[in-house]
Amino acid sequence: MNVVNCAAARSLPSRHRFALARLIGYLRLRRSRPPSEQPEHLILAIDRDQSALEMNLVALWVFITTTCYLAAALPVVLPLAIVLAFPLAAIVIHLPIVVGGPLLRLMIGDGNHIKIVSVTTMALLLLASGYFAMTATWARAVAWLFFAILIVNGFAAVIVWFLRGAIQTAEERCVR
């Protein structure tokens, strides 16, 4: 679906993947007023993965969390562990994708496997966070922050579910 010549479409909740971003998008959409002058040539795709800010923030969150866990697990002094953890985090995050990709392709075939990769990444982070939440290291705070962000997103998902009718009505103002 595309939206043509509606500046408020940048805030459409359906352009976001995570519930918290959808809720923020809905609040921004509700506050937006129709501009006195419509843009001449604005075409936006309505795709859940088109929000660059949201995708980059989540990627940064996953990368920093993984880096912290690796730094806490490395058996070297903390400053050196942090330096070593940055390149290791990039490898560790992509390792399940590179190793699991051929297996996934054999089992399921070609196609869009974004959901499987996303669920696997979050499940591995959930397991790692569960482990580090129970340790007595500084990474414990990172693990609890991870859980707090998941809980806030869960509450946002419940709110978005209750507001689904209002959200659809607000989005229909742009899609005509």
Least Cα distance to 5 among 35, 29, 50, 48 occurs for: 35
Q: Any idea where the domains of the chain sit in the sequence?
A: 2-51+164-172, 52-159
Here the tokens at position 150 are 């998941």
Residues 6 or more apart whose Cβ sits within 8 Å of residue 88: 67, 70, 74
What pLDDT, on the 0 to 100 scale, is given for residue 176? 57
Phi, psi of 3, rounded to the nearest 5 degrees? -120, 130
In the chain, where do the E strands start and end?
2-4, 43-45
What pLDDT, on the 0 to 100 scale, is given for residue 38? 57
Residues 6 or more apart whose Cβ sits within 8 Å of residue 5: 38, 39, 40, 41, 42
- Per residue of the chain (176 residues), give pLDDT as tens: 556 556 667 678 888 889 999 899 888 888 876 655 555 566 666 767 777 888 899 999 999 999 999 999 999 999 999 999 999 999 999 988 888 777 777 777 777 777 788 888 899 999 999 999 999 999 999 999 999 999 999 999 999 999 999 888 888 777 65
Measured in whole angstroms, the distance separating CA 116 from the mean position of its chain's CA atoms is: 14
The SS3 call for residue 47 is coil
What pLDDT, on the 0 to 100 scale, is given for residue 42? 60
Q: Which residue has the tokens 């209002």?
A: 166
Global pTM? 0.82
The SS3 call for residue 128 is helix
What pLDDT, on the 0 to 100 scale, is given for residue 155? 97
CA distance 48 to 60: 18
